[in-house]
Copies of this chain bind each other. A is one copy, B any other.
């Protein structure tokens, strides 16, 4: 940890966002490149963030009534072809297993890019009667989509995710489920990851291949580009028809169920970095930080060492007893200043400094990661340190969301002319969200994409009743949509 390389500064975010992002990922030891093209290694400090968010989201998903299951990683190639839009969307990016146990396979297997097909094949065997519905399963697994231009966490050939798949007796119930999960995701992203969300439905062009409607939670990263953080799909009866899922309804008719699927992935780790990080490095919301508070003991004279370490260890024990994930940095041979920078870079939300004068006065300095400099520092009595830390961590969690929401608001512009839209999206970086009236026609969407590189990120669910005119064609538009350049 005290290697020379840690003393190098990371690239400033304002200078080179992509370079800054990679520096954080590698230097904070969140992930590493692997010898397999497009695949990454999740290192313990990165995987711990995934574990924290996975465990919390898993609890929330189970609360909705879904249960976890596990389906094969391999899918017969013929399955993918059963739903026309689905195969069109996924066939170009699959990995294909052609040999197993030393022999060529009769039918090649694809490594799942998503599991609608194999899960619905099983649903067809499990669903017979309306009493078998709703059927709601969720799966945490790895998926593979062959990507040529990869970026750690954001776009990788293999990634980890959860995919929920549900079947319902009525269209209405399935539509409600789609929106229930959208809200679970929105709430989770804001409360737990402190990532502000714009939720809405996707345009037809941006829909999941095979869905009737796709809903999304989008956020705006530090460079003004949008990131899709999760999606919830209303599949209608498309897969039920393709896989011949039928049940005897209450009127004794054989009918197809109505379905949904929904997922979030390890891309959320990228969202956390790009939403909260700053020039000093990572800033982790306390809820996902594997180290929430780090204690740095300070002494110059050997005489002070014992008293300082004794107080620091007592503080550590008090924090741990209060279920705060804390650690004490006892490294010798590196300066306190080096330690400050190191833990700031790694995103620890709260730093606690204890020196000889603090011990004498029975106090410690609490330095918040979310507020730089003196403004983020306060004193706490050593005696009540756990309670103080707990309330600071709660404040930091809230404040990171407020800061991010303020940035998103500042980067969202209601634009009422095509020229203004072009202006907003000009330049190399992002351009934030453009909140525009759009007539909903594909031609106007395509024109925007081709000329500004902005795509339709979300059509918000709650629309004002006032109609307007499409910024592209000037025709009447009943809805506003958020456009942005996206990851």
Interface residues of A, Cβ cutoff 8 Å to B: 1-2, 32, 34-36, 39-44, 47-48, 50-51, 67-76, 79, 91-102, 108-109, 111, 118, 121-122, 125, 131, 137, 141-142, 144, 146-148, 157-158, 160
Contacts and interface: CB of A to CB of B under 8 A. Distances in A.
Nearest to A266: B70
Contacts of A94: 100-101
Given A95-B97, A96-B100, A100-B96, A43 B72 contact: no
Given A99-B98, A142-B141, A72 B41 contact: yes
A32 to B, nearest CB: 7
B98 A32 contact: no
A36 to B, nearest CB: 5
Given A36-B75, A39-B74, A69 B97 contact: no
Given A39-B72, A74-B158, A67 B44 contact: yes
| Residue with the greatest number of chain B CB neighbours at <10 A, chosen from A48, A97, A109, A144 | A97
Given A34-B118, A40-B72, A51-B68, A92 B101 contact: yes
Given A96-B97, A101-B93, A72 B158 contact: yes
A3 to B, nearest CB: 8
Given A47-B70, A142-B73, A98 B96 contact: yes
20 contacts: A32-B125, A34-B118, A36-B72, A39-B72, A42-B70, A42-B71, A44-B69, A44-B137, A47-B69, A47-B70, A70-B160, A73-B73, A73-B158, A94-B101, A95-B97, A96-B98, A97-B97, A97-B98, A101-B148, A141-B142
| Residue with the greatest number of chain B CB neighbours at <10 A, chosen from A73, A118, A141, A157 | A73
Contact of A109 (B36, B41, B148): B36
Nearest to A122: B41
Contacts of A92: 101-102
